[in-house]
């Protein structure tokens, strides 16, 4: 099991036993179209498959981790711990967003800045404004570790067999074949009228996207692909008319949220087409 390098809102470390219990005992390649912090992928360490995220800066980060970990670690050691440095780093990170055809050096710098901001920004959040600029304020940490050398090296090995994409999640329709496993962890449908799940990326993820995801899950299932999804309770109704899919509610711990009152136990739904007698039924002793 590899520890994720980044802190990420919606991370699934607390829910790993429930999620992987619904995975099939045997499958071929593993695909994760909404990668984020990659807790499930890094727990499994699959030999082959694909990962994807619409956040291009996050994708650049994982490409650098996979392909050039030692250069990234060396770059990480150049950062400083101060409020002024944080905001200068945030400005530089946002300036790099507009650079077309980045050099290898610029890609490493962008990846290093992302990790630094992730480890020193407020509550480990990743948030963009409507212009696509990272806008999280500095956090309050006595001795943050943004070098993360051991985790980067381990993550690099885990990613060695994965192709990395920055596309719409429907890319997986062309990647996954019968016998593969796809795990979907999309931006969640809000559970209240005041909730907002579009800040992660300026383009957002709305109810129509949730329907597209349901239709894709159904198509993958018809093609012999194992599918597991995690989402919030309002999405459950979209899958009620898909007899091949089971929908179950579980409790999960939310560790990252901009509002401290919103952390703690929350209900999530896990949806899968894997027949009960083919599931791993993982025990907590693995964790």
- More confident: 208 or 200: 208
Report the candidate in 283, 279, 165, 161 with the shortest Cα–Cα distance to residue 227. 279
Q: What is the CATH number of the domain that holds 36?
A: 3.40.50.150
pLDDT of 255: 58
Structurally, the chain folds into a number of domains equal to: 1
CA distances, 74 to each of 21, 85, 130, 203 (Å): 38, 18, 33, 33
| Gap between the Cα atoms of 287 and 285, Å rounded | 5
Q: Are 237 and 261 in contact (CB under 8 A)?
A: no
Tell how strand 181-184 and strand 246-254 pair up.
Answer: unpaired
Domain for residue 280, yes or no? Answer: yes
CA distance 30 to 57: 22
Buried b (16+ CB within 10 A) or exposed e, 168-187: ebebbeebbeeebbbbbbbb
Q: Tell me, yes or no, whether 259 lies in a domain.
A: yes
209 within domain boundaries: yes
Contact 50, 175 (CB under 8 A): yes
- Pull the structure tokens for residue 187: 């931006």
Number of other CB atoms surrounding residue 279 within 10 Å: 18
Tell me whether residue 140 is in a domain.
Answer: no
Contact call for residues 260 and 124 (beta carbons, < 8 A): no
- Three-state secondary structure call for residue 9: coil
Query: Is there a domain that residue 134 lies in?
Result: no
Lowest mean pLDDT: which of 11-20, 107-116, 219-228?
A: 11-20
Give 160-176 pLDDT, tens digit per residue: 999 999 999 999 999 99
Q: Which residues pair with 31 in a beta bridge?
A: 50, 182
- pLDDT higher at 201 or 110: 110
22-77 residue pLDDT tens: 999 999 999 999 999 999 999 999 999 999 999 999 999 999 999 999 999 999 99
Is residue 1, in this structure, part of any structural domain at all? no
Amino acid 205: pLDDT? 85
Averaged pLDDT of the chain: 90
Q: For residue 267, list its beta bridge partners.
A: 251
Domain that residue 23 falls in: 13-55+147-286
Task: Kindly state whether residue 137 falls inside one of the protein's structural domains.
Answer: no
Q: Is residue 73 part of a domain?
A: no
User: Among 51, 46, 77, 80, which Cα is nearest to 63's?
Assistant: 51
- pLDDT tens digits, residue range 208-258? 999 999 999 999 999 999 999 999 899 999 999 999 999 999 987 655 454
For 145-157, write each residue's pLDDT tens digit: 999 999 999 999 9
Q: Please give the average per-residue pLDDT across 95-121, as a whole number.
A: 97
Is the model's pLDDT at 201 over the cut of 80? no
Does the reported pTM lie above 0.85? Answer: yes
What local confidence, expressed as pLDDT, does residue 267 receive?
86
Chain centroid to CA 170: 16
- Does residue 115 carry a pLDDT above 60? yes
Helix-helix angle 104-120:83-96, to 10 degrees: 140
Residue whose entry in the numeric block shows the structure tokens 């979209």: 238
């Amino acid at each position: 099991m590899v520890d994720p390098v980044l802190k990420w809102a919606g991370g699934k470390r607390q829910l790993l036993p429930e999620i992987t219990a619904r995975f099939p005992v045997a499958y071929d390649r593993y695909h994760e179209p909404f990668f984020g912090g990659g807790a499930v992928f890094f727990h499994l360490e699959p030999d082959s498959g694909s990962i994807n995220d619409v956040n291009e800066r996050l994708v650049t980060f994982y490409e650098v981790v996979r392909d050039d970990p030692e250069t990234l670690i060396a770059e990480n050691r150049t950062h400083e711990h101060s409020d002024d440095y944080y905001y200068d780093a945030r400005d530089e990170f946002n300036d790099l967003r507009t650079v077309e055809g980045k050099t290898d050096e610029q890609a490493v710098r962008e990846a290093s800045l992302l990790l630094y901001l992730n480890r020193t920004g407020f509550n480990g959040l990743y948030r963009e404004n409507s212009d696509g600029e990272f806008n999280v304020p500095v956090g309050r940490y006595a001795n943050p570790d943004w070098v993360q050398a051991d985790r980067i090296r381990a993550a690099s090995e885990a990613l060695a067999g994965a192709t990395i994409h920055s596309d719409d999640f429907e890319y997986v329709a062309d990647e996954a074949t019968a016998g593969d496993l796809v795990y979907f962890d999309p931006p969640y449908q809000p559970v209240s009228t005041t909730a907002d799940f579009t800040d992660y990326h300026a383009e957002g993820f709305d109810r129509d996207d949730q329907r597209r995801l349901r239709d894709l899950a159904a198509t993958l299932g018809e093609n012999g692909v194992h599918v597991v999804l995690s989402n919030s309770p309002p999405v459950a109704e979209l899958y009620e008319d898909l007899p091949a899919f089971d929908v179950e509610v579980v409790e999960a711990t939310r560790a990252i949220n901009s509002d401290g009152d919103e952390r703690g136990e929350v209900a999530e739904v896990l949806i899968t087409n894997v027949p009960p007698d083919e599931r791993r039924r993982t025990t907590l002793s693995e964790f």
